[in-house]
Amino acid sequence: MVRRYAPARELHFHSHAEPRLCYVMRGNFEESIGARRYERRHGMILYRPAGLNHAEQFGKNGSMCGLLTPSPDWLGLTNEFGLHRTRRFQV
């Protein structure tokens, strides 16, 4: 699914029931996780595990992101390639 975010849109702290991959296709935004803030830019691929509480503030030009909810089978393969989902999430 592709989602467009309007310029200066703010999404308050929330989480998702399922894990998500996010590809930043256009624009940029700031993501808050806890008290820390991170700049997310065009071309980045982000992984958000289920239940991660985060907020987003989109830039003056808005943003467009490709969102994917990976299947449990796909996630099961990730340990083989270095993504260890059982470890504490680190950004």
pTM: 0.79
Non-local (6+) Cβ contacts of 76 within 8 A are: none
Give alpha helix (H) positions in the chain. 72-78
* 39/60 Cα distance (integer angstroms): 14
Identify the pLDDT of residue 72: 75
**pLDDT tens series, the chain, 91 aa:** 999 999 999 999 999 999 999 999 999 999 999 999 999 999 999 989 899 999 999 999 999 999 999 887 777 776 666 655 554 444 4
Q: Domain 2-81 adopts which CATH fold?
A: Jelly Rolls (2.60.120)
Q: Are 90 and 33 in contact (CB under 8 A)?
A: no
pLDDT at 91: 45
- Determine the Cα–Cα distance for residues 33 and 56; give it in Å rounded to an integer: 9
